[in-house]
Amino acid sequence: IDLMLFDEVIVFDNIKQKIILIVNMSLNDLETEYNKTVIKLNRLIDLLCNGKKKNELGGKLLGKVTPLFNKEQFCNMVKKAKYHIHEGDIFQIVLSNQLSAPFEGSLLNTYRILRTINPSPYMFYFSGTDVEIAGASPETLVKLENGILHTFPLAGTKPRGKNKKEDKALEIKLLSDEKELAEHNMLVDLGRNDLGKISKFNTVKVEKLHSVERYSHVMHIGSTIRSEISDKYDALNAIEAILPAGTLSGAPKIKACQLIDKLENNKRGIYGGAIGYIDFTGNMDTCIAIRIAYKKNGKVFVRSGAGIVADSVPEKEFEECINKAQAVINALEIAKEVNI
């Protein structure tokens, strides 16, 4: 868990094409603190106007991208999961596969490419002492604004078509796919239950059901769930109630997580976690950490998952994982051609 307090923030408003500088200040000694804040703001202005660009080594894949589980291994994992579904242990489970490759340089270019080829509701880049993350997540974990909670489960996937006609045909196929709809409906119910833990009585509602959300390489079935947060809970309680998202674990959630740990036998790391912010008013917006490139110890990792239900076809689930990872892999491959 990384929780960070930022007392100096540079905000770029994409719509108005303006930069906003924010410096938080203490209220203990207003005049003294105000003067300190003005100095900090002027320093930020000077940094933006006169600061030198940091030289970063452009990111580069140094070898072949290889999966953690090959097709045969992943299909066997799906078959074992289906056994547990038929035994009644679970209704649905989300199994993941990980692609990795040797990598040198920064993921900053990868982030820039993702903004172009896979624009998503949540775009993020983070560089720490020993890790680096670039991502383009399509899915909200949970959002809190003025006491109203929202979650937007995405489950059910088809690749994008090569043209509008093919794209529309795939949309119709997606919305008539009983397997995909069953998977989605279970996760909508799970989302309702998760919000119900921290919401006022009888406020949990499904605002939108079975919309199709399009992204660069795939389309998903999406729904919107809304509720009013209980007076005794806050943003952190909301995150705790939702994590891990049902769209990344399964149902029932606890049993699905136990089976994931057993079947995958590999730590997922940041994949499926939460990335976002909580502001000083208590509002919060977080996304699920998917469609991300994660760099550590000279390697880059890209993980993606597929929802498994009773009638899942193992080979199709393997391909779904590959399709979901493709936008990030493409960004990694293109990034080496771009100058920072």
- Kindly write down the DSSP assignment for every residue of 42-102, as one continuous string: HHHHHHHHHPPPPP-PBPEE-S--EESS-HHHHHHHHHHHHHHHHTTS-SEEEEEEEEEEE
Nearest C-alpha neighbor of 127 from the set 110, 106, 112: 106
With 90 as the cut, is the pLDDT of residue 3 above it? no
What is the value of pTM for the model shown? 0.85
Q: Which long-range contacts link 166-174 to residues 24+ away (Cβ below 8 Å)?
A: 167/214, 167/219, 170/219, 171/212, 171/219, 174/212, 174/219, 174/221
What is the rounded distance in angstroms from the CA atom of residue 334 to the CA atom of residue 208? 37
Active site residues: 220, 247, 271, 291, 307
CB 22 within 8 A of CB 11: yes
Whole-number Å distance between alpha carbons of 145 and 143: 7
User: What does the DSSP 8-state code read for residue 335?
Assistant: H
Contacts for 166-171 with beta carbons within 8 Å, 24 or more apart? 167/214, 167/219, 170/219, 171/212, 171/219
Q: Could you report the per-residue pLDDT of 181-234, keeping only the tens digit for each?
A: 988 998 899 999 999 999 999 999 999 999 999 887 788 999 999 999 999 999
CB 275 within 8 A of CB 122: yes
Q: Which of 141, 153, 152, 80 is nearest to 308 (CA)?
A: 80
Domain extents in the chain: 8-50, 60-335
Task: Tell me if 204 sits within 8 A of 188, measured CB to CB.
Answer: no
Q: Which of 15-24, 111-120, 140-149, 330-339 has the lowest mean pLDDT?
A: 330-339
Query: What pLDDT is stored for residue 284 in this prediction?
Result: 96
CA-to-CA distance for 107 and 105, rounded, in angstroms?
7
Amino acid (one-letter) located at 203? T
pLDDT of residue 336: 77
Q: Residue 338 — pLDDT band, cuts 50, 70, 90?
A: low
pLDDT at 340 over 80: no
- Which tokens belong to 7? 């007392």
| C-alpha–C-alpha distance, residues 161 and 168, integer Å | 8
Backbone angles phi, psi at 204, to 5 degrees: -80, 120
Handedness of CA 57, 58, 64, 70 (dihedral sign): positive
Token pair 């705790």 is found at 240
- Alpha-carbon distance of 177 to 154, in angstroms, equals 15
pLDDT digits (tens, 9 = 90+) for 22-34: 999 988 899 999 9
CA atoms within 13 A on the CB side of 46: 6
Range list of β-strands (E), 139-245: 140-145, 148-151, 154-159, 205-214, 218-228
Those residues with Cβ within 8 angstroms of residue 236's Cβ, 6 or more apart along the chain or in another chain: 278
For 32-54, what is the mean pLDDT? Answer: 92
107-128 pLDDT, tens digit per residue, is 999 999 999 888 888 999 998 8
Residues 66-90, mean pLDDT to the nearest whole number = 96
**60-335 has which CATH code?**
3.60.120.10
Considering the chain, what is the average pLDDT of its residues?
92
Sign of CA dihedral 116, 118, 222, 254: negative
Going by pLDDT thresholds of 50, 70 and 90, the confidence category of residue 339 is low
pLDDT > 70 fraction of the chain, expressed in percent and rounded: 98
* Position 242 pLDDT exceeds 70: yes
Q: Is the pLDDT of residue 82 over 90?
A: yes
* Over residues 86-96, mean pLDDT: 95
Per-residue pLDDT of 264-304, as tens digits, reads 999 999 999 999 999 999 999 999 999 999 999 999 999 99
Note the pLDDT tens digit of each residue in 315-329: 999 999 998 898 899
How far, CA to CA in Å, does 256 sit from each of 83, 96, 123, 178? 13, 13, 29, 21
Tokens of 157: 């996937």
**What's the distance, Cα to Cα, between the start and end of the chain in Å?**
30
State residue 157's pLDDT score.
Answer: 84
Measured from the Cβ of residue 125, the count of other Cβ atoms closer than 10 Å reads: 17
